[in-house]
Structure 1
């Protein structure tokens, strides 16, 4: 597809700009209505899917519970092998370990007190907001720059559109 080059502005007055702002506001309103209708359809599909899936999920949970209860009742068969291979799958027991923290703040402080810093995660990242206040020489020294640009923007007065509509 050939690239089209935009010529100079087609607007010739501030009234034209104002008319464009009005048109943008109307398009935004129509887009909002379309998105709201789309979201309603999505919500309806999610609700019907959830209703259709609930009996299946309940059936699956019941079957899983029955398998678990049977395996626990026959746990003696899992002494030599931790897994029982069957035609349509396998069941078994695995040793599982997890750390349970009662009070995060106390545990974190205790890890610091015992110098167990290898057990503490710290996410490091540059604070760009704080870096904005640094002098340019310091920014350059740390391998950063301050980029400033005059960005164009516009604002639609939606209440005015409602009065016109």
Structure 2
């Protein structure tokens, strides 16, 4: 395709964009199908390797649990092919049921632990700010940005009409 010099050239270019988009999607679809075919062919092999890996990890864990005293001074051990070790982690399970969460929040507030144990996320609401007039935006130190964005929207379905 040559240089665009008229609106009819644009229509021809849009047709070409549609054809290219269809070609790209066709190839992407074929790639996905081929990847899925290869994954399916190798599924048993991957499963076998994964099971063997999990078994070895389980054996290492069981051995280390039986010999936990070896980790009393130094919490990890370095080997040629990796590292094993224990790490202390802390967590608290928070209820998922909304009524229990509300009850927990009330209890936290009642004990005066609200500042440390409750997080609040505050952020500007862009949609609401965009609705303010320019004077109010100026008071807030904000400016309205108006752009005239160009767009190209190919109608791929129109290719079917041409054939």
Calculate the TM-score normalised by the size of structure 1: 0.69
**Contact 1:22–1:161 (Cα < 8 Å) also in 2:** yes
Q: Which residue of the partner structure matches residue 10 of structure 1?
A: 4
Deviation for aligned residue 1:15:
2.8
Secondary structure at 2:131 match in 1: coil
Secondary structure at 1:158 match in 2: coil
**Contact 1:84–1:92 (Cα < 8 Å) also in 2:** yes
Closer/same/farther in 2, CA of residues 64 and 20 from structure 1, 3 Å limit:
closer
Bigger drift between 110-119 and 29-38 goes to: 110-119
CA distance in 2, matches of 1:144, 1:110: 40
Q: Which residue of the partner structure matches residue 151 of structure 2?
A: 153
Unaligned segments of structure 2, at least 5 residues:
none
Q: Which residue of the partner structure matches residue 138 of structure 2?
A: 140
Q: Which residue of the partner structure matches residue 5 of structure 1?
A: none
Which of 1 and 2 has higher RCO (CA within 8 Å, sep 6+)?
Answer: 2
Output the aligned Cα RMSD. Answer: 3.3
Deviation for aligned residue 1:50:
5.7
Closer/same/farther in 2, CA of residues 96 and 155 from structure 1, 3 Å limit:
closer
**Contact 2:76–2:85 (Cα < 8 Å) also in 1:** yes
Q: Which residues of 2 match residues 11-160 of structure 1 at below 5 A?
A: 11-12=5-6, 14-44=7-37, 51-75=44-68, 77-78=69-70, 81=73, 83=75, 93-103=86-96, 105-106=101-102, 107-115=104-112, 116-160=114-158
Calculate the TM-score normalised by the size of structure 2: 0.70
Closer/same/farther in 2, CA of residues 150 and 96 from structure 1, 3 Å limit:
closer
What number of residue pairs does the alignment pair up?
A: 155
